[in-house]
Amino acid sequence: VHRVIPGGVAAQEGSIFEGAQVLSINGTALQNSAHCEALRILKKAKGQGMVVVVLQSGNSRKEATEKPGIT
């Protein structure tokens, strides 16, 4: 995660921080993926109405869900 948009869903939810590693999006593993590939997968997932992102920050893993219609 290189940026959390102030006032966005991730910032409001509070568990996603800059520097966290995105492990998967909707079950698609992102280890060893290029940044552009991760963005492509995220944009595709957002078009499906619900996005589940699994993050790793330090030694803990967190899961955040984006609800349909929220960007």
How far the first Cα of the chain sits from its last, in Å, is 16
pLDDT tens digits for 21-58? 888 888 889 888 998 998 898 888 877 777 777 777 65
Higher pLDDT, 71 or 2: 2
């699994």: which residue's tokens?
Answer: 54
The pairing of beta strand 21-25 with beta strand 51-57: antiparallel
